[in-house]
Amino acid sequence: MSEKRLLLIDGNSITYKAFFALINQVNSFINNEGIHTNAVFGFNNMLNIMLDKFKPTNVLVAFDAGKTTFRTEMYADYKAGRDKTPDELREQFDYVKELLKNRGIKYYQLDNYEADDIIGTLSKEADQLGFETTIVTGDNDLTQLCSDKTTVSISNRGVSGVVRYDTDYVKEIMGITPAQIIDWKALKGDSSDNYSGVTGVGDKTALKLVTQFGSVENLYEHLDEVSGKKLLEHLTEDKESAFLAKKLATINRDAPIEITVDDTVYDGDHIKELINFYREMNFRKFLSEMSADQVETMDKVNFVELNSDNVNDIDVKDGANVSFYLGMDGDNYHTADYIGFALKIDETNYISRNIELLMDDNLKALLESDKISKNVFDGKRTYVGLNRLGIKLNNVDFDLLLASYLLDTNDNSYDLGKVANRHDYFDVQSDEDVYGKGAKRAIPDDDILFDHFARKVNAINSLKDKLFDELKENNQLDLYRDVELPLSFVLARMEIAGVVINKDILISMKSKISEKLLEIKESIYNDAGEEFNIASPKQLGEILFDKMQLPVVKKTKTGYSTAVGVLEQLAPDYPIVEKVLEYRKYSKILSTYVEGLLSDIHVDNKVHTRYLQTLTQTGRLSSVDPNLQNIPVRTEEGRKIRQAFIPSENNWQIFSSDYSQIELRVLASISGDKNMQDEFIHNDDIHASTARRIFGLSDNSEVTPEYRRQAKAVNFGIVYGISDFGLAKNTGISRSDAKEFIEKYFAEYPGVKKYMEDSVNSAKEKGYVETILHRRRYLPDINAKNFNLRSFAERTAMNSPIQGSAADIIKIAMIKMEQELEKRNLKAKMLLQVHDELIFEAPSEEIEILEELVPKVMDSAVKLNVPLNVKSHYGNSWYSLK
């Protein structure tokens, strides 16, 4: 690669492109001073991509100086009739220039000339000096500058996608040389620049003429060779226009610019100024990206290194402000190694790698104190980590992770630095920046690690008041204090309790299923006439649809679809497909559940899942390592997995209670629909009642199972934010039938219809939707021009308050449930939550108590306008619940 690389950017063109690429988000890109910033943001994105790709030694951004140029002198209407630049864009040009200054990039404009001419003149000089030049623009005109050393990159889709033109590529797709672009434009004209060329000559004819004659001049010298009478007439009539157009289209490569290539040396970002600029613009993304460089500019952080000699000097007075961070290496805090800890007491930071200091009486008492409150990042993680050391973390007041998630469910990174950045706090780096990523990840030396840890507790401490203020502003303080924060410790204790797994059951299932799979596999190979990887959708597709010529039902982006729905359609006619379905079912059970679960068992013969409390967009929990919220239940073969989930003591039972139709009940309550409410109040079979209504039957006794099934699907659809297409696809009925059902449904349940409309309208107005406990979900796409994005946001606006409120309810029930068990001194333990279901283990003699207690607590968790309904079951394992 040449050591001299020049990047030339058409500033106006790229700023325009950036603005319109992000036009949908123009109103979410507003900085604190009310200035729109979407074009500046997009421009910078493009800049990053280009700097990274071309690694230029020299850069210049050229701007147009104004409306009047030498071209308007020649032709007064040049570029006339263009739409006025929107105000939201005009205000951004000065900021683009400021961005460039801070990025160490020169820019230039010249009276009477356009950006094109500056670029043309400089690229000519650069060609002579032996530079490799890249021109970036949104405008095809500049392709005329292509040469051996100069390429033109034209951004098409937004600003990140570019098409790169070099001499060969211009020739390949146009069939003419770069220089001939001018002749081509002279003949066809340019409507956006408002000049016409030759009447009746468009892209194609112009190309043909240029190919045949080489240039406008040569064409007019050989007009007699032109075929087509009409064309000849137009050419003759518009000769003057064509020559004017050629002049207008020609980029001036000798503009009287006062700079040379030497003046465009790129010296890199001015980091301190750039950070200030990004802050002014509210560009969190760019701030986080450069936080690795940022460390040099951060103020020094003081700390005291703790050891066994000075640990007892720490004296914490009541009312002290204490922040604590426990460092662990890896995500799974049930087993992760400790790295160290940081403690901030008022203005002093204490750091150590020696985790045993925490077990020293002094610090242990501090962490366990109910008098002195603590601030943390991820209280659940901290609680479990300390629990392993025999320390019971108590009195947590502020959890940065939880608060951040409640304010915006997208702020859910488990990396403290990233979360802090989202709240405009930049004096801490992300773990990724400090520890490295992937194979390069390593815990750094003490000086770097201690600095990082000190910054973490500083961040927690600094953000506390700000985030509490924001929670208050959003009316979310109760949700934080009464639900999420206490729940995090309930979850911690459930995770610590774990569930015993009977290994022997899984091991015996493993050999049985393996045998079965072997049999099915042989039979499939026999049918196919060859061996192949049945688990590979690609290979399977080739066997079924190419080799065996089965009818193609559906395709995916990458090939034939072999999803269950597709195979089920084919199964009755093709035995091999039936076998593939069998094979899929058993191999899923084997790999994900039997083998997967076996590998997650800890030394205590238990699985200790981790609930992710700050991940979902709706407020639900999720579960990982292992995921205990998707253990099979729908098919008997899969359900057998549950036999391995057993109580931890002899003569104990597994006990489970679940809400029936909680989401529909929530909908009935928040929509205020009287018909639906009545049906729940009378404890009717809701799906049967829906069937009666939408099929116009006189009584629920006329509802056949098929009617009920369809009505149930409609009820599901309603909760998901229904569309006729979706309902039709899911139930196999026609789209017009689906449409009719939905209309009938809304006529019968008018309150539901109104709720759906209100949800969407309120989301469009406020930008977010809320649950009964004020849990928020922001929907930035709700006003998008793109149909898909907007529709998705609209369905989300309908669904999230329902799904989220149901999540709110069970969370309250869990907190109350733990309190009740403790209050009554019961041995029973809450082990699992599966969205609408709570699972316990308990001594047999407590079952009777639970049968009354659990439904009572769950029923009364939240007061709705309809009753909640809870059903309970128990048995010797999670499988045999009766």
Partner DNA sequence: GTGTTCACG
Partner DNA sequence: ACGTACGTGAACACC
Q: How far is the CB of 766 from DNA (least distance, A)?
A: 18
Q: How far is the CB of 597 from DNA (least distance, A)?
A: 8
Nearer to DNA, 207 or 714 (CB): 714
Q: How far is the CB of 596 from DNA (least distance, A)?
A: 3
Number of neighbours of residue 592 by Cβ within 10 angstroms: 17
Nearer to DNA, 729 or 871 (CB): 729
Q: How far is the CB of 682 from DNA (least distance, A)?
A: 24
Question: Cα–Cα distance between 858 and 340 in angstroms, integer?
Answer: 40
Question: Cα–Cα distance between 553 and 573 in angstroms, integer?
Answer: 14
Question: Cα–Cα distance between 589 and 568 in angstroms, integer?
Answer: 19
Exposure letters 770-807 (e unless 16+ CB within 10 A, then b): bbbbbbbbbbebbbbeeeeebebbbbbbbbbbbbbbbb
Nearer to DNA, 661 or 689 (CB): 661
- Structure tokens belonging to residue 765: 């107005």
Nearer to DNA, 632 or 843 (CB): 632
Q: Which residues lie below 8 Å from residue 132, measured CB to CB, with a gap of 6+? A: 1, 2, 4, 5, 6, 149, 150
Do 209 and 219 contact (CB within 8 A), yes or no? yes
Q: How far is the CB of 739 from DNA (least distance, A)?
A: 10
Nearer to DNA, 535 or 747 (CB): 535
> What is the three-class DSSP state of 339?
strand
Cα angle for residues 240, 241, 242 (degrees, 5° grid): 90
- Phi and psi of 269, rounded to 5°? -65, 145
Nearer to DNA, 367 or 513 (CB): 513
Q: How far is the CB of 549 from DNA (least distance, A)?
A: 18
Do 11 and 63 contact (CB within 8 A), yes or no? yes
Nearer to DNA, 647 or 717 (CB): 717
Q: How far is the CB of 580 from DNA (least distance, A)?
A: 8
Q: How far is the CB of 641 from DNA (least distance, A)?
A: 9
Nearer to DNA, 18 or 727 (CB): 727
Exposure letters 747-759 (e unless 16+ CB within 10 A, then b): ebbebbbebbeeb
Q: How far is the CB of 540 from DNA (least distance, A)?
A: 8
- Phi and psi of 512, rounded to 5°? -65, -45
Between the CA of residue 454 and those of 290, 457, 567, 729, 752, what are the distances in Å?
20, 5, 57, 55, 52
Question: Cα–Cα distance between 479 and 475 in angstroms, integer?
Answer: 8
Nearer to DNA, 523 or 592 (CB): 592
Q: How far is the CB of 775 from DNA (least distance, A)?
A: 12
Question: Cα–Cα distance between 371 and 535 in angstroms, integer?
Answer: 58
Q: How far is the CB of 178 from DNA (least distance, A)?
A: 33
Do 769 and 759 contact (CB within 8 A), yes or no? yes
Nearer to DNA, 448 or 612 (CB): 612
Nearer to DNA, 96 or 861 (CB): 861
- Structure tokens belonging to residue 337: 């190694």
